Amino acid sequence: MKNKWITALAIFNYLTFLKVWNYFLLHISFQISRLIRKPVLWGKPTTLSVEPTTSCNLRCPECPSGLRSFTRPTGMLQDQLFEKVILQSKSYLTWLHLYFQGEPFLNPRFLEMVKFADQNKIFTSTSTNAHYLDKVTVDKILKSGLKQLIVSMDGITQEVYQQYRVGGNLEKVQKGLKLLIEEREKIVNNYPRVILQFLVTGQNEHQIPDLKSWAKKMKVDELQLKTTQVYDFEEGSELIPSDLGYSRYIPSGDGKWKLKKKLENKCWRMWQGAVVTWDGQVVPCCFDKDASHVMGELKSQTLMAIWNSNSYQAFRNQLFMDRSQIEICRNCTE
């Protein structure tokens, strides 16, 4: 598998003094904030997650898109709003993840958005269930400037795969992934770097050895074994693997389950970046899937006005006071 230096090189090629200085200011102000237990914010967001759509072709059991359980509106990101975000942030933004909820390739303008961001010297990444990697789409991907593609594949046989990726077709995913890697090799291109992501559950953990062999044969650039988020983890779930090294949760000793990692009153994500929903709402992080903590609206405000707003600063302040009082933080691995 190719080393991560390929990703680092792509980021480095798009760096400017202003972007590096901005990151330094964010890091220093975060450390000062931790010391004085109050939010000090000197920089601008260095990363953004922007949501192309909330639509999805699958029905994964721990995903609002899959469960069709959003309380917020669903829809497609429009070019005008996306370009507004990019033009406002391009001087300091180092990483753009074009994903939040949904399947991004369902937005017919998705790859044009990738190309626009790349032309503005912003590193681009996305996540997909890989059901739309046909010849036409693969050719567009390779021309878009996309630097990183995360492919979710949580099983090495159809029987196991479909237990979590409900409605999914493993053969279609594997053929599309193979096509992308082969076409990328033909034009001697390192991008997009392909990361195969495997959510480890109690249903698929036995397939990890076979998965590693398959990933090596397929020549993916990286294999990530990722812990699975379970909403009602306190009561346990068949999704929690028996190998707790792959679990976010551990038994609490009273028949219940708890987070493995202690919830600390701090969060770098609140200084690093933000999440933008398809309709222009700015929320603090990717755990706020239902947009219950809206910091502002990009249709009527600038990104920086929202970033420095009283509501955002109050949210950051709450992190230092008692993070456990914030619902979206109670299932967080940060």
**194 sits in which H/E element:** strand 193-200
Q: What is the pLDDT of residue 182?
A: 97
Closest CA to 82 of 102, 96, 101, 65: 96
pLDDT digit of tens for each residue in the chain (334 aa)?
456 788 999 999 999 999 999 999 999 999 999 999 999 999 999 999 999 999 999 999 878 887 778 888 889 999 999 999 999 999 999 999 999 999 999 999 999 999 999 999 999 999 999 999 999 999 999 999 999 999 999 999 999 999 999 999 999 999 999 999 999 999 999 999 999 999 999 999 999 999 999 999 999 999 999 999 898 889 899 999 999 999 999 999 888 999 888 888 999 999 999 999 999 999 999 999 999 999 999 999 999 999 999 999 999 999 999 898 898 888 787 7
In the β-sheet with 123-128, what is the strand arrangement from edge to edge? 222-227, 193-200, 148-152, 123-128, 95-97, 47-50, 273-276, 281-283, 296-297
Strand partners, 148: 125, 193
The Cβ of residue 324 has, within 10 Å, a number of other Cβ atoms equal to: 9
What three-state secondary structure class fits 202? coil
Strand partners, 258: 250
Q: What is the pLDDT of residue 126?
A: 98
Alpha-carbon distance 123 to 148, whole Å? 8
The full DSSP string for 42-76 is -S--SEEEE-SBS--S---TT-HHHHT--SS---B
Using an 8 Å Cβ cutoff, are 26 and 46 in contact? yes
Q: What sign does the CA torsion over 8, 14, 16, 20 have?
A: negative
**226 sits in which H/E element:** strand 222-227
Q: What is the pLDDT of residue 3?
A: 64
Alpha-carbon distance 102 to 125, whole Å? 15
Q: What is the pLDDT of residue 268?
A: 96
Q: Which tokens in the block code for residue 62?
A: 């721990």
Alpha-carbon distance 165 to 174, whole Å? 14
Per the listing, tokens 């200085």 go with 21
The Cβ of residue 330 has, within 10 Å, a number of other Cβ atoms equal to: 14
Residue 258 DSSP code? E
The Cβ of residue 139 has, within 10 Å, a number of other Cβ atoms equal to: 14
Q: What is the pLDDT of residue 1?
A: 46
The Cβ of residue 197 has, within 10 Å, a number of other Cβ atoms equal to: 17
| pTM of the predicted model as reported, rounded to 2 decimal places | 0.94
Using an 8 Å Cβ cutoff, are 141 and 94 in contact? no
CB within 8 A of 333, min separation 6: which ones? Answer: 227, 248, 259, 261
Q: Which tokens in the block code for residue 118?
A: 């790349």
In total, the chain counts a number of residues equal to 334
Closest CA to 166 of 211, 216, 194, 201: 201
Using an 8 Å Cβ cutoff, are 264 and 323 in contact? yes
